Chains A and B, each alone.
Chain A
Amino acid sequence: MIEIWSYLSRDPLLWLAATLVAYLIGMAVFQAAGQKPLANPSLVAMVLLAVLLHVTGTPFATYFEGAQFVHFLLGPATVCLALPLYDNLPRVRQSALPLIAALCVGSATGIVAVLAIGDAFGLAPAIMASMAPKSATAAVAIGVSEELGGSPTMTAMMVMLTGLTGAIVATPLLNALGIRDWRARGFSVGVAAHGFGTARAFQVNPTAGAFAGLGMGLNAMLTAILAPLVLRLFVP
């Protein structure tokens, strides 16, 4: 028994399978909970796996040897976002001005707010630098944060927390604000909460998903420009 475990626990197969099983459980929980945003299938899977790793004493590096095959698909999936964008291109052109305005305001608000609150708590400069680009997709956020003196792992965590927050709060928040336009709903979530928010948007509505993907792509670029400028206001 111990021999089988010691083989399996080091083989990528086990943790790849565990990731898929955890996600299927997450999907089942999401359905059973009446598709409530808080029962996000991804969040359920993360919690299950984090507990499993802790209980079995498995290092994250071992887990990732299996999970990397899933993680790898994030890049190709980003390329795939071109298709829904293509399908919605006439509507993107039609709403170009509101989109540009929402991009600038949404992006700047996220960066200024996270740094202002962090500053009020007196957080260390390395943490501030790791927080500043958190609304951008992970690759950009980590690149920007490293240049500003932040930590890659801490930035990855901030990006994840941001995505989760966006995925969970978007529906109730936008309902409360009375925003019914799927373009506005999706785009603002993609700008503020990158691909994870985009994944949530696709769960709700295809138009929202397409505009979220656009918001994610555009804010990846804008964050690279804005985050260093805004950080300088808080961390001299």
Chain B
Amino acid sequence: MIPAFLTILLCQLTGEIVTRASGLPVPGPVLGMALMLAGLLVSARLQALVRPVTEGILKNLLLLFVPAGVGAAGHIATMGANTVPVLVAVVASTILAIAAGALTFRLVARLTGTPVEGGR
């Protein structure tokens, strides 16, 4: 478990160092994800090593957002007259973005003859 967790941390650490050094608009953890993916592609042993820890963390992904959410809940109380406009803008735009993304995927999949999964 410790070697697996260390591998994950080292990917993130490398990602953080590279983003800071290069000024790339990519967060360190996302670069770490790309690094881990590259590692998984070349090493079957790495896959066996990180799978148990990775699955444990990903199973509880929702828990990790709780502290940030508590902070957000405290901040929204300070928005005053801007609360409703902000809520409307954020909620409506998120709904539109999900719908636009999913419909675009389906349209382009049809146009390019990409095999469709899950019917229709």
Chain A interface residues toward B at CB < 8 A: 19-20, 22-23, 40-43, 45-47, 49-50, 53, 60, 63-64, 67-68, 70-71, 73-86, 89, 94-95, 97-99, 101-103, 105-107, 109-111, 113-114, 117-118, 121, 123-124, 127, 131, 134-135, 137-140, 143-144, 153-154, 156-166, 169-170, 173-174, 177-185, 187-189, 191-193, 195-196, 198-200, 202-203, 209, 213, 215-217, 220-221, 224-225
Q: Are A165 and B103 closer than 8 Å at their CB atoms?
A: no
The complex places the Cα of A212 from the Cα of B72 at a distance, in Å, of 23
Given contacts A199-B62, A199-B64, 5 further A-B contacts (CB under 8 A): A94-B114, A161-B72, A191-B97, A199-B61, A224-B26
The complex places the Cα of A117 from the Cα of B37 at a distance, in Å, of 38
Complex interface: chain A residues within 8 A of B57 (CB): 73, 76-77, 80
Complex interface: chain B residues within 8 A of A174 (CB): 98, 102
Using C-beta atoms within 8 Å of the partner chain, give the interface range for chain B.
35 or more
Chain B interface residues toward A at CB < 8 A: 5, 8-9, 11-12, 15, 25-30, 32-37, 39-41, 47, 50-51, 53-55, 57-59, 61-76, 82, 85-109, 112, 114-120
Tell me the dominant secondary structure on chain B's binding face. helix
Complex interface: chain A residues within 8 A of B109 (CB): 95, 97-98, 181, 184
Complex interface: chain A residues within 8 A of B58 (CB): 77, 80-81, 83-84, 202, 209
Count CB-based A-B contacts (< 8 Å). 338
Complex interface: chain B residues within 8 A of A191 (CB): 97, 101
